Amino acid sequence: QQQVKQSPQSLIVQKGGISIINCAYENTAFDYFPWYQQFPGKGPALLIAIRPDVSEKKEGRFTISFNKSAKQFSLHIMDSQPGDSATYFCAATTGNQFYFGTGTSLTVIP
Amino acid sequence: EAGVTQFPSHSVIEKGQTVTLRCDPISGHDNLYWYRRVMGKEIKFLLHFVKESKQDESGMPNNRFLAERTGGTYSTLKVQPAELEDSGVYFCASSRLDTYGYTFGSGTRLTVV
């Protein structure tokens, strides 16, 4: 059973637009929710992460919105750029293994 | 600091053969993890080392997979004998004991034909 469900599978956004990727989870014991960015031929790299005691975290153009009651969290990329084109994975953990979503392939069109 | 190094980057083997993947974690990172992504699916946990000890190997698919971590440094993941369903990208990640943040390697793409 998949612990973290991610959507959409792929996303195409115009340069300057907002990219939104959504994830949902079931296990209320999860206490750390990271987003990873992966470029072709590279490993996933930590982009931004949030703990469930806050509803939003912003780092530059990247924002995580967290809804504890709905057990959902999302990544917002503001002013999307072609260089943001990559695969994005959400994840959740209780401190040991990470449970990842299936990934979202983002393409930002110039 | 040097990152997590994995090799080979690609491996194509025939069904029934043996393959050994290697991971060199970041120096000082006692946590070492192996994950696998089958095409289009999520990245799935295989196992977790703390130093040289297996902390959790609940994700290992079956006894054809054997992981070791010599002296708490580099780790190897051996698949013997390989099956078609073992194809995928195998990622290694490491972290310090006091942090949740992983650093991933670039992965080994294993193709079993």
Sequence letter at residue B68: E
pLDDT for A89: 97
Q: Judge if the upstream peptide bond of residue A40 is cis by omega within 30 degrees of 0.
A: no
- Neighbour tally for A3: CB within 10 Å: 17
pLDDT in tens, A14-47: 999 999 999 999 999 999 999 999 999 999 999 9
Q: Is A103 on the interface with B (CB under 8 A)?
A: yes
pLDDT for A95: 80
Name the pairing type of β-strands A10-14 and A104-109: parallel
How far, in Å, CA of B110 to CA of A38, rounded? 18
Q: Do A97 and B41 lie within an 8 Å CB cutoff?
A: no
Percentage of residues of chain A with pLDDT beyond 90: 95
How far, in Å, CA of B102 to CA of A34, rounded? 10
**Shortest alpha-carbon distance between residue A3 and chain B (Å):** 10
B50: which 2 tokens? 């703390």
Mean pLDDT over A74-88 rounds to 98
How far, in Å, CA of B44 to CA of B85, rounded? 14
Q: Is A99 on the interface with B (CB under 8 A)?
A: yes
The chain B residue lying nearest A10, using CA atoms, is B40
Q: Is A1 on the interface with B (CB under 8 A)?
A: no
pLDDT in tens, A49-73: 999 999 999 999 999 999 999 999 9
Q: Is A40 on the interface with B (CB under 8 A)?
A: no
- Selected for mutation to probe chain A from B10, B43, B46, B56 (highest A CB count within 10 Å) is B43
Instruction: Let me know: does A37 contact A90? Beta carbons within 8 Å.
Output: no
**Shortest alpha-carbon distance between residue B13 and chain A (Å):** 20
B37: which 2 tokens? 């992504």
How far, in Å, CA of A44 to CA of A42, rounded? 7
A54: which 2 tokens? 């806050």
pLDDT in tens, B68-113: 998 889 999 999 999 999 999 999 999 998 888 889 999 999 999 9
pLDDT in tens, B32-68: 999 999 988 999 999 999 999 999 999 999 999 999 9
